Amino acid sequence: MAHLIDISASPVSATMFLLLVVCCSQAMGDLLHITHAPGYMKFVQHPIKDLPASDIPKMISHSLGLPSGEMSWNGMLQGSLFKRPKANVIVTLVGHDDMDKTPLNPKSLAKYIVHNDVPFVDIEQVTHNFKRTLFGSTPLMVELLADNANIDVKSWHEIFKKLPSTRQKLNDRLLENNSVLNQFDIGTLNISHSADAALLEELQMIRNIMEKLKSNPGYLKSKTPDFYSFTISGLKDVAQHHGGESSQVASATKLLNEFIDKMTSEFRQLYKDGVMVEVLVTKPIHGVLVRKARSLMEADTQNTATVSQVSAWKKANIAASYGDEYPAIFNIILWGMIILAVALFIISHGIWNMDPGRDSVIYRMTSQRLKKE
Q: What is the pLDDT of residues 280-324, one digit of tens each?
A: 999 876 544 444 444 444 444 444 444 454 455 445 555 555 566
Report angle CA 47, 58, 115 to the nearest 5 degrees: 50
- Give tens-digit pLDDT for 38-57: 988 888 888 888 999 999 99
Select, from the ranges 22-26, 122-126, 170-174, the one with the highest average predicted confidence (pLDDT): 170-174
Local structure of residue 283 (DSSP, 8 states): P
8 A C-beta contact, residue 151 and residue 165: yes
- Angstrom distance (rounded) from CA 199 to CA 248: 11
- Does the pTM surpass 0.85? The reply is no
- Angstrom distance (rounded) from CA 163 to CA 153: 8
Q: Mean pLDDT across the chain, nearest whole number?
A: 79
Which residues make beta-bridge pairs with 281?
A: 31, 93
Task: Give which of 147, 232, 252, 114 is closest to 191, Cα–Cα.
Answer: 252
Burial status of residue 317 (CB atoms within 10 A of its CB: 0-12, 13-18, 19 or more) = exposed
